[in-house]
Structure 1
């Protein structure tokens, strides 16, 4: 089950970052407006992009251990940098999530369009899903990739359902700087651990 938990952790760590998409999901949850639609669309986007990353990247790297090793090494360095940023935020503080709930209700079509735009027009989402998550899964066999995908999609579903349907309970916590410091610190530790695993994979492929 290691691929499952690796997918669960790496996706959970990446998806929890403060961003416009998470703020929008929280806002819809607070307003109780089309939250089921928003959560479903966010998760379906992850299904498509993460599957593309895991299996598309694998197809490109098939039979090329050197390329697989380089991608794993790049992913390790990216995770180290990402973890360092989270560690700095955890140490310095200042993070919080502000959500404006005064906006008028939007139609389901407009809500769906906004959700897709916030998700698919963000270049970082492709780095996370197609490159980083896909690269992290590249060393697993076909069964391992399926377990990795299941872990990734489980993390995605749990996150969006939690912040969407649990928004009224979670927002007071997300507005507290100390909560974000703890969250950033946990993400940093997770990223460092995953970076070490990827580095080991890269070295094993190279040597």
Structure 2
């Protein structure tokens, strides 16, 4: 379990688009719980899919991996362009108490779902990498490893959002 916790944390702590978004939501102190929950539950789902052998399905139907890869790349490209546009339009920075308002809860949650499930790296890290490392522990070790990785995700997202 400790190995899963440390491995999971080592993969998730790198600040990417999803973590930056959770940090932004946390600084606004609005919608923090649902955003952190979506991120944690997404990781939980994908880690367990990896443990239960989604890799075999992807090997049989590689179109799934290609769909996620290209769809995710397109999502991140568009998000990057929007962020660049906002950079040039705004003189403010991402600070606590920022007066820039967030969009509605539904838009925030849809954006969070996009960062969670359209990021191609999340599938490589959670399903493929963590799933294959977990399988090396055999029965029942792979379940304890996976619980540790899920605990790392839980600790990270809620710490980032509320910290």
Q: Distance in 1 between matches of 2:99 and 2:130?
A: 36
Q: 1:34 aligns with which of 31, 35, 42?
A: 31
Structure-1 residue corresponding to 2:5? 8
| TM-score normalised per structure 2 | 0.72
Q: CA offset at residue 142 of structure 1?
A: 2.4
Secondary structure at the counterpart of residue 152 of structure 1: helix
What are the residue-to-residue correspondences of 1:1-207 with 2, within 5 Å? 4-57=1-54, 60=56, 99=94, 101=98, 103-166=100-163
Misfit runs of 4+, over 2 Å: 98-103
Unpaired segments ≥5 residues, structure 2:
57-92
Q: CA offset at residue 99 of structure 1?
A: 3.6
Unpaired segments ≥5 residues, structure 1:
61-97, 167-207
Would you say the 8 A contact 1:26–1:99 is kept in 2? Answer: no
Q: Distance in 2 between matches of 1:102 and 1:117?
A: 25
More contact order relative to length (CA 8 Å, sep ≥ 6)? 2
Structure-2 residue corresponding to 1:179? none
| TM-score normalised per structure 1 | 0.57
**Once superposed, what is the RMSD of the aligned Cα atoms?**
1.6
Q: CA offset at residue 105 of structure 1?
A: 2.1
Q: Distance in 2 between matches of 1:103 and 1:11?
A: 33
Greater Rg over alpha carbons, structure: 1
Would you say the 8 A contact 1:23–1:99 is kept in 2? Answer: no
